[in-house]
Amino acid sequence: MEVVKSPLEMQNIALNLKKAGKRIGFVPTMGYLHEGHLSLVRRAKQENDVVVVSIFVNPLQFGKNEDLDRYPRDFERDCSLCEREKVDYIFYPSASDMYPEDFKTYVEVKDLPDVLCGKFRPGHFRGVTTVVLKLFNIVQPDNAYFGEKDYQQLKIIQRMVKDLNVPVNVIGCPIVREPDGLAMSSRNKYLSEEERKSAVFISKALFQVKETFERGERDVNKLKDMGINILKQAPLIREIQYFEVVHPESLEPKEIAESSDVVAVAVYIGNTRLIDNIRL
């Protein structure tokens, strides 16, 4: 396994691999890897000749009062996890190499970021699409793997790739959960023992809503009320940013739920913002 820090060097490696006819699988991450990330890496290993994992906490996608400075980092541990999965390259650039002082270019998808997380994190998805396009240009993947936990992110990246004719296959992979249902996230590390207990209500609410849908309930207001009531049982959930049933592609809120709609939720537990979703 090779750790590459320079964007130019990584791009040269990638372009040479492509010339040699290798299929490149790419897993972009912000590090502090968990089983969710590793499930992406394993799928990438299966479907490609070479696997690149990027580890980059992208300042452009954090708001002013968000957790950029305290975002968990453990590069040594990430390396040994990647090594174990037989990752070929870790791309580990510096912020100043990714965004030199005279950096001025942004990639923006319209409309899709106006709902769900985008509504509460202005500029976040512009930061995501900009860095992902940069990473795609550097790593030159045939296939790129993203977790469905960040469902809106996945849809926005797929939209960008289609609109800009980027020759990358963007693959969404299922959410990986802890045994009690909590969706894996690097941010779970922020949670105290008591907060961790409240966090389980997030997936509990989603599972209950899905079950109720499967028993025949289609009224989104009723489904939402039910989910929100479950969240309210968690003593340390201090804010429910949204609990929505949305169309899986347009992300527009639904009134009548249909199969394959997405139930998406964001809550604050203490200072930790957690998101999750489930497909109906």
Respond yes or no: is residue 34 known to be catalytic: no
Residue of 75, 106, 119, 229 interacting with a copy of itself (CB under 8 A):
106
CB 223 within 8 A of CB 244: no
- Rounded distance, CA 28 to CA 125, Å? 15
- For a copy of itself, give the closer residue by CB, 6 or 212: 6
Residue of 1, 6, 9, 18 interacting with a copy of itself (CB under 8 A):
18
| 186 near a copy of itself (CB under 8 A) | no
Decide: residue 171, CB within 10 A, 0-12 exposed, 13-18 middle, 19+ buried.
middle
| 127 near a copy of itself (CB under 8 A) | no
Specify the residue for token string 């207001």: 221
Q: Number of residues interacting with a copy of itself: please give it, by CB under 8 A.
A: 31
CB of 162 to a copy of itself, least distance (A): 8
- Rounded distance, CA 248 to CA 183, Å? 19
- Rounded distance, CA 66 to CA 271, Å? 9
| 165 near a copy of itself (CB under 8 A) | yes
Stretch of 47-55, 60-68, 158-166, 255-263 lying at the interface with a copy of itself (CB under 8 A):
158-166
Tokens of 169: 């296959």
CB of 103 to a copy of itself, least distance (A): 5
Decide: residue 169, CB within 10 A, 0-12 exposed, 13-18 middle, 19+ buried.
middle
- Rounded distance, CA 184 to CA 105, Å? 32
Among 76, 105, 107, which Cα is nearest to 92's?
76
Stretch of 17-25, 29-37, 52-60, 146-154 lying at the interface with a copy of itself (CB under 8 A):
17-25
According to CB under 8 A, which residues from 198 to 217 bind a copy of itself?
none
- Rounded distance, CA 94 to CA 63, Å? 19
- Rounded distance, CA 171 to CA 257, Å? 25
- For a copy of itself, give the closer residue by CB, 36 or 118: 118
Residue of 16, 80, 137, 260 interacting with a copy of itself (CB under 8 A):
137
Residue of 111, 211, 219, 258 interacting with a copy of itself (CB under 8 A):
111
Stretch of 45-53, 84-92, 159-167, 257-265 lying at the interface with a copy of itself (CB under 8 A):
159-167
CB of 115 to a copy of itself, least distance (A): 13
| DSSP state at residue 274 | E
Query: Helix/strand/coil (H, E, C) string of 60-85?
Result: HHCCCCCCCCCCCCCHHHHHHHHHHC
| 154 near a copy of itself (CB under 8 A) | no
Among 153, 191, 180, which Cα is nearest to 268's?
191
| 96 near a copy of itself (CB under 8 A) | no
CB of 171 to a copy of itself, least distance (A): 19
User: Which residues are near a copy of itself by CB under 8 A?
Assistant: 7, 11, 15, 18-19, 21, 102-112, 129-130, 133-134, 137-138, 140, 159-160, 163-167
So which residues are the catalytic ones? 37
